[in-house]
Structure 1
Amino acid sequence: MHQKTVQFLENLRSTDWFCNVGRGEYLATDGDLLAVGSWEDAIALSNSEIYEDALREAMNEITVSLHRHFPSEYMRWNETVREIKPKLASLVEEKLRESVRSGRAPVVLTSEPCLSDLLGACMAIEYSDLFDSLYFRKLANSYLGGHFPCGWEGAVSEDFTEGFKTGKMYVY
């Protein structure tokens, strides 16, 4: 695991997860983010097919680029996932328990959306020397800023020519 990925996991561990949900100051600095008004709306968006499709396409954007331009790195993808995922899963469970206990997150928030999001972010960071993922950069910054990224609005180019430049991420 690259040092920058290790550092991201350490930063996630030291962040007060969801401490800024519902606060729009962060959103005002980035016109590509849309505010969500409640946990109920945020959870519904995070479980939507559109958000799941966007997350899948963002992962595909990375793997397609690796496959085309860096095949030896692409061949290490599954090994890298197996290395990162257990560490991340433990961290996500710990931070969610802490967030629920402190009242920053509702009991109904499961680890699945956070784990999927953050595994994608870790993989994007792991391969960031080879491919820059705008989507996962925004997502990672949202978590580190104490927010919950939860949805996507807009189309994603199937051939990735525009990637995630034309849509907006929902953040609570």
Structure 2
Amino acid sequence: MKISQLAIHRLNNINWFVNLGVATTLPSVIQAQSISLFIKGLNSDEWESATLEAGNEITGYLAKKHTNNYQYWNSLVKEAKKVVENDIIPKLIFPESEKSAMIENLKWDLVNFLLEDAYSSLLREPFFFNGLINVYETGHMPCGWSGTWPTGKLVIY
């Protein structure tokens, strides 16, 4: 098990945040209507819970169904964090007033995407964190969940 260079390349080719607050054509999402709702969503317990549940679903499934492969999880987490913190985040420009909340959410999303991608051949679709990367690739940022996860809709800005 290892972090995919293709996944890292994908992250390095995103045109980050170019459509924050711009109307989206993405299907099945809700758009936050203001910067204050965007920040409120990023900092909400509901959004944190939804992303934690998605991550826990991955680790729980791997621990039960793929015990031998799951033993590499912690070393992959370290590798993914290193990639995100050293190769991705330093290249990005954040709106200064929202920088802290955006960075913490982004780190979580990207590390979990790299892990989900590393284990994708063992997991069942749909891939939650890959879906978040699809949003980032459109220049938006995921910032919440409307409903009780896993039912409901992603909120983006």
The bucket for the TM-score relative to the shorter chain is: 0.7 to 0.9
Read off the aligned partner of 1:113 and give its amino acid letter.
N
Contact 1:62 1:133 in 2 (8 A): no
Does 2:10 align with 1:11? yes
Can you give the 5+ residue segments of structure 2 that lack an aligned partner in the other structure?
none
Distance 2:89 2:24 in 1: 27
Look up the SS of the partner of 1:34 in the other structure.
strand
Read off the aligned partner of 1:122 and give its amino acid letter.
L
TM-score (normalised: structure 1): 0.81
Can you give the 5+ residue segments of structure 1 that lack an aligned partner in the other structure?
157-163
Counterpart of 1:64 in structure 2 is 60
Counterpart of 2:76 in structure 1 is 80
Counterpart of 1:171 in structure 2 is 156
By how many angstroms is 1:148 displaced? 0.5
TM-score (normalised: structure 2): 0.88
Q: Superposition pairs for residues 110-125 of structure 1, below 5 Å?
A: 110=100, 111-125=103-117
By how many angstroms is 1:92 displaced? 4.0
CA distance 1:133–1:62, shift in 2 (3 Å) = farther
By how many angstroms is 1:72 displaced? 0.8
Distance 1:123 1:76 in 2: 10
Contact 2:62 2:69 in 1 (8 A): yes
Aligned length: 153
What is the Cα-based RMSD across aligned positions, in Å? 1.7
Counterpart of 2:127 in structure 1 is 134
Distance 2:130 2:98 in 1: 26
Does 2:98 align with 1:108? yes
Counterpart of 1:151 in structure 2 is 144
Distance 2:85 2:58 in 1: 21
By how many angstroms is 1:133 displaced? 4.4
By how many angstroms is 1:85 displaced? 0.7
Read off the aligned partner of 1:125 and give its amino acid letter.
D
By how many angstroms is 1:122 displaced? 1.2
Look up the SS of the partner of 1:122 in the other structure.
helix
Look up the SS of the partner of 1:108 in the other structure.
helix
Counterpart of 1:43 in structure 2 is 39
Name the stretch that deviates more: 51-60 or 6-15: 6-15
Look up the SS of the partner of 2:25 in the other structure.
helix
Over the matched positions of the two proteins, sequence identity in percent amounts to 31
Distance 1:78 1:150 in 2: 26
